[in-house]
Amino acid sequence: MNRFEAVCFDVDGTLYPKWMMNLCLMKTVYPSPLLAYRYSRFRSSMRSHPEILTDPPNREGFLQRQAISILRSSKKAIDQSAITGINEQIKRQFHSVWSNPRLKLTPFPYVRETFLAIRSMGLKIGILSDFPLGTKLQLMGIDDLIDVAICSEESGYLKPHPAPFELICSRLEVQGTSILYVGDSYPKDILGAAGVGMTTCLVYSPGRNPNRKKQAMEKYPEADTICSGYKELLDWCIKVQNGGV
């Protein structure tokens, strides 16, 4: 296995518990549950149809595609004023939740220590999140250790489309084959990262029973390793960097 030049992390469910993310998402249901439903449905549809192009392939193109999809499902007229209005509603209802400075997010144990150790090995650290980052990295106390942090929307697509992973490679100035990608979603994170040649680590807790971990490795074959915690992840990284894996 090649040594790494960078380690890239998903955020929600990877750096902090998924139940905290779900509590935050509950807040995005209001004031318009119907908008929340259509927002979620658009994102699911986008993942299901990777062949549909975003034009232009950037955040502006993503927001326009999202707004048009929601307007169509609402059977509303589509013009620039309506697109701007939908995007403003999305910003108020969804993005404001992630930007709230009083948001309560506690990272998993040993996250900052792991980031410090990764930096001490001379590796870059990247962040690739499907949801807007807002204040999440600051609230978890790791923003000062990160070289590049982006939201998938900046690429015009969502994971597992290759575009977000290619964008983080470009921003980090590191080839995909020299990046370790760490995420908690097998279909979104692991399959997406593996598709551009990254080494992958699935954050997953199979318990201490070695047979359950073996079963997990068989269930998730594209994951190069499975780690149940950040100390385990760091130990594995050190072994790779020392040529021991």
Q: Could you read off the pLDDT of 127-176 as tens digits, one per residue?
A: 999 999 999 999 999 999 999 999 999 999 999 999 999 999 999 999 99
pLDDT computed for residue 86 by the predictor? 96
Q: Is residue 187 part of a domain?
A: yes
pTM score of the predicted model: 0.94
**Residue 237 banded pLDDT, cuts 50, 70, 90:** very high
Do 228 and 111 fall within a single domain?
yes
pLDDT computed for residue 104 by the predictor? 84
pLDDT computed for residue 209 by the predictor? 63
Residue numbers of the domain that contains 215: 6-16+105-241
What separation in angstroms does the CA of 90 have from each of 3, 12, 51, 225, 228? 41, 19, 25, 37, 34
Q: Is residue 1 part of a domain?
A: no
- The model's pLDDT over 39-66, given as tens digits with 9 standing for 90+, comes to 999 999 999 999 999 999 999 999 999 9
Do 74 and 29 fall within a single domain?
yes
- The model's pLDDT over 216-227, given as tens digits with 9 standing for 90+, comes to 888 999 999 999
Domain endpoint, select from 35, 68, 98: 98
- The model's pLDDT over 93-137, given as tens digits with 9 standing for 90+, comes to 999 998 888 888 999 999 999 999 999 999 999 999 999 999 999
Q: Is residue 79 part of a domain?
A: yes
Split into its structural domains, the chain has a count of 2
